[in-house]
Amino acid sequence: FLPCGPLPPWEGATLVMPALSIGNVGQLAVDLLVSCRSAKRVGFLEDDAIVPTIGNDAFSSQGTGVLTTSAEVFWDAPRRLALLQFRAPVVKGHFASFASRVVAWVNEMKFSEVVLLASCDTRFRPGAIMPGHEMAFAMTPTLLSSPLERALESLGWERGSVADTDAALVRPHSMAGSFFNECVKSNLSLVVLIAVCPEGENIPDGERMATSVCLFLQATIGDETHVQAHTPPTHWTHPPSWRLFHGTPSDPTLFA
């Protein structure tokens, strides 16, 4: 971890991070949470397993010259929420080792729990989730019978599993599965939020996931001030970089 300045007071805070999965839903949701909550970038993750990537600032339309990298960490101080964003894939065959190093960093920073945002393709999970329930969750054994488990159940989401079976929403050798397994080994409190969706236009799924994160955080905090702080917006504000999702517009004179 390479900090931009003094480390924030992360002990006891919640870390939200995406798994690299179908439709990039988790990454879309983190972008929305950073953009709408005005979270500040506080550092970077550097690891040999992440493909090097660089680009323009994803959250500014002014051309400020701030560079975006493969893995960045943001801090939402009022909500005590850390957000880890990945903008590049993990090298194939390195999921487990990479997850082990991230878990070691999470333990070193003393986060109280991690919320992992994952997704699975509806085409490969027929019958795995009830119709009309597009959100599911899984959790490490340390959270069984805990207030967090009761909060998730109160939201009416399906309970998924991490297993090498056709009915499982998360496979153990995926990035989400590798991270789940490492958290189990370390007795780390992990909640996996899973969006069931097809690959395609996934912005609505990213918005749904970001809203689900807010609802989950609301359900786990009893203090009214914090409950209001995690109220999801009526309309999510898209980062400026999203305008180029589908490339630059075609020249209309081509079709004249």
Q: Dump pLDDT digits (tens) for 220-251.
A: 765 555 566 667 777 888 888 877 676 666 66
pLDDT computed for residue 109 by the predictor: 94
Residue 152: band (very low, low, confident or very high) from pLDDT cuts 50, 70, 90: confident
Tell me, what DSSP letter sits at residue 186?
A: T
The predicted structure's pLDDT at residue 105: 95
- Contact (CB, 8 A) for 120 and 22: yes
Rounded CA-CA distance 178/174 in Å is 6
- Residue range 27-75, pLDDT digits in tens: 999 999 998 887 899 999 999 999 998 888 888 777 666 788 999 999 9
Dist. CA 236–CA 223, nearest whole Å:
24
As to burial, measured by CB atoms within 10 angstroms (0-12 exposed, 13-18 middle, 19+ buried), residue 240 is middle
CA distance 50 to 228: 36
Which residue blocks in the chain are alpha helix, DSSP H?
A: 25-37, 95-109, 147-154, 175-185, 203-220, 224-229
| 100 has pLDDT over 60 | yes
Task: Look up residue 93 and give its DSSP letter.
Answer: T
- What is the value of pTM for the model shown? 0.87
Mean pLDDT for the chain overall: 84
Q: Are strands 190-197 and 71-76 parallel, antiparallel or unpaired?
A: unpaired
* Separation of alpha carbons 103 and 47, rounded Å: 13
Which of 118, 105, 97, 116 is CA-nearest to residue 10? 105
Q: Which residue has the higher pLDDT, 216 or 230?
A: 216
Task: Report pLDDT digits (tens) over 129-139.
Answer: 444 457 889 99
Residue with the bigger pLDDT between 187 and 147: it is 187
* Sign of the alpha-carbon dihedral angle for 134, 140, 145, 149: negative
pLDDT for the residue numbered 16: 96
